[in-house]
Amino acid sequence: MLRGITQRTSRATDADAPPPQPALKTLRRLFRYLGPYKWRMAGTVGLYMLCVAIAQMYPFIDRMLIDQHIAVKRIDGEFYLLVLVAVILHAINYAAFAARTLSIVRISQRVLFDICRQLFHHIERLSFNFFESWPVGKIMARFQSDVTTLNDFLTNQVASIFHDAMSAVVVIAFMLLIDAGLAVVALCTLPALAGAALYLRPRMHAGWEAVREYATRFNIFLAENIAGMRVIQAFVRQQVNFNQFRVTNALVVERWMKVITLSAWLGPIVEMTRAFGLAAVLYVAAHQIGATSTLTVGTLVAFAAYINALWGPISTFTNSYIVLQATLASAEKVFDLLDTQPVVRDAPDAIAMPRVKGEIVFDHVWFSYDGARMALKDINLRIPPGQLAALVGQTGSGKTTIASLVSRFYDVTQGRILIDGIDIRAVTQESLRRQQIAVVLQEPFIFTDTIANNIRYGRPTAGMDEIIAAARLANCHEFIDKLPEGYNTLAHERGSQFSVGQRQLMSIARAILADTPILILDEATSAVDTETEQLIQQALERLMAGRTSIVIAHRLSTIRKADQIVVLREGQIVEIGDHQTLASKADGYYARLVRAQMMGEH
């Protein structure tokens, strides 16, 4: 009865979900995924029909065998022919069954592929703020359990629903053909079943919603705990987290049991209607046999077989109905994600930005992440092409924010940012970022791939000689070359086998190879040894040569060379100028910073 539901693992929901879509609309949208495969689906349904038609012949043949041969002891050539026909029909039935199973699996895999592809393509286009508000675990829940539910419904259940509907129609036709009066008696219990299904529908839907909600929380918890396992172990939080895990897990099981219990009611109701239908038929037949001559024992046997044959599909149809409720809840979540629009969007008339010289202007820029608190307040800044601007300031003062705005990872709240005099909102994001801006993030990210591929990330066509040249400039060639597999060494997830300094050098090589007129560098604060620091310093200088650079620097040696130093405090520029000017302001933030670092060095 609950086949196909109990096997499924977690699924997910968001607390901030919009009101549910009408079921029919969701269903129609869901069916569009079958569009490209409609002919294959039609072929599969054809095979189903063949199986149904053949299966319904059996009682018919049995009836002929009983009434015309066995009951009257006529074992002749026609009897053997009927037996032969029955055997051949069985053979065809099984062959068709195998063919349709294969066909369904093929469609199923393609649909799954399509939905996942669409989802991934979509989230790749979403803006930074989406990834800040959606935990990884929640996104994964959409990809795994929700998509799997949709796929199961679209392929297995849809084909099965066709099959069930077809079987039901054929069986009812045969029943009417044999004895219309008895057929009506047999079917009189169906409205009760329909009533029960309608009553349970909203309750099951709500139940599945709850399952999803708690399963998502479970997923989020799991993803975060695995990612943060080093911190968990370092602070010996295993037992505390394990207890939290148990609660999260138990809540999912509890919701799951609730909805399954609800759905389980439909099973007995189906069986009761079958039993009552059969009883009603037997009651009426008992009065008719003997009284009229038309009703034979063979007919009654065939009729009983048809009643069973009718309730088979009704029972599986009920199962599909339960799966449908789960599917609708999942589909709403998936469509919700697909309907989430990126906040940063290309203007309809956006042009491709030509390769720039690299003048960057912040013109009265205000910016807020949450719409409430301003992270940047009235920033005015001009960096001429090829010059270096260093951003300094306390933690949280807005340095990374300024860097993110240049690449248009967020849109300014007020004011504008111009590159070579062009408002960056007037050009496509792709043309703005590709070939114009290279970014070295505060936390360098290395992907699970070879070192070579990690370095050529911004220019996949780069040859091996170019990669090595970039690595040499970035001072990381030496250590890469010493690895047993050199540039073909496979980095673990996030490059965890490399030190932070090594990762930083590799991401500098990546930026060098990208060879863009603009460079944004969010220097990591992490302390590295003096030797590495010098390597990084040297690499940076080579990288910045001839490019417009915005560098968030913590090392005085980098900052000192800047054409302008921008001192930020609480989102505002409080000092701006070159090293000489700022260092001479005795009570300035920069002068204090210089003094502090000098003391640290001595």
Ligand X SMILES: Nc1ncnc2c1ncn2[C@@H]1O[C@H](COP(=O)(O)OP(=O)(O)OP(=O)(O)O)[C@@H](O)[C@H]1O
Bridge partners of 374, per DSSP, are: 368
Shortest distance, position 143 Cβ to ligand X, whole Å: 23
Write out the binding residues for ligand X, residues 432-471 only, by CB under 6 A: 442
396 is an interface residue for ligand X by CB under 6 A: yes
Shortest distance, position 581 Cβ to ligand X, whole Å: 22
Q: In what order do the strands lie in the sheet with 374-383?
A: 374-383, 360-368, 414-419, 422-423
132 is an interface residue for ligand X by CB under 6 A: yes
396 binds, among ligand X, Mg ion, none (CB under 5 to 8 A by kind): ligand X
Shortest distance, position 399 Cβ to ligand X, whole Å: 3
Place of tokens 């679209």: 154
Determine how β-strand 572-577 pairs with β-strand 422-423: unpaired
Q: Which is nearer to ligand X, 131 or 235 (CB)?
A: 131
Shortest distance, position 359 Cβ to ligand X, whole Å: 23
128 is an interface residue for Mg ion by CB under 5 A: no
Q: H-type helices in 440-499, by residue range? A: 451-455, 464-473, 477-482
Write out the binding residues for Mg ion, residues 210-269 only, by CB under 5 A: none
Number of chain positions touching Mg ion (CB under 5 A): 1
531 is an interface residue for ligand X by CB under 6 A: no
Which of 7, 292, 293, 395 contacts ligand X by CB under 6 A?
A: 395
Stretch that binds ligand X, among 22-30, 33-41, 238-246, 393-401 (CB under 6 A): 393-401
Which of 400, 413, 489, 557 contacts ligand X by CB under 6 A?
A: 400
Which of 141, 220, 309, 375 contacts ligand X by CB under 6 A?
A: 375
Q: Which is nearer to ligand X, 111 or 375 (CB)?
A: 375
Q: What is the dihedral of CA 104, 109, 110, 113, to 10 degrees?
A: 160
Q: Which is nearer to ligand X, 356 or 403 (CB)?
A: 403
Shortest distance, position 156 Cβ to ligand X, whole Å: 42
Q: H-type helices in 125-236, by residue range? A: 128-133, 136-141, 147-152, 158-178, 180-187, 190-227, 229-234
DSSP-derived secondary structure for 541-582: HHHHTTSEEEEE---HHHHHT-SEEEEEETTEEEEEE-HHHH
Reduce the DSSP state of residue 391 to 3 states and report it. strand
Write out the binding residues for ligand X, residues 108-127 only, by CB under 6 A: none
Q: In what order do the strands lie in the sheet with 548-552?
A: 437-440, 518-522, 548-552, 388-393, 564-569, 572-577
Which of 316, 319, 397, 436 contacts ligand X by CB under 6 A?
A: 397
Shortest distance, position 356 Cβ to ligand X, whole Å: 24
C-alpha 355: how far from chain center: 35
Best CA proximity match to 476, nearest among 452, 492, 497: 452
Shortest distance, position 395 Cβ to ligand X, whole Å: 3
Angstrom CA distances, 51 to 42, 60, 99, 249, 597, stand at 14, 15, 11, 43, 83
Number of chain positions touching ligand X (CB under 6 A): 13
Write out the binding residues for Mg ion, residues 372-411 only, by CB under 5 A: 400
370 is an interface residue for ligand X by CB under 6 A: yes
Place of tokens 């309730």: 311
Q: Which is nearer to ligand X, 130 or 245 (CB)?
A: 130
108 is an interface residue for Mg ion by CB under 5 A: no
532 is an interface residue for Mg ion by CB under 5 A: no
Q: What does the binding site for ligand X look like in residue numbers (CB under 6 A)?
A: 132, 369-370, 375, 393, 395-401, 442
Residues that bind Mg ion (CB under 5 A): 400
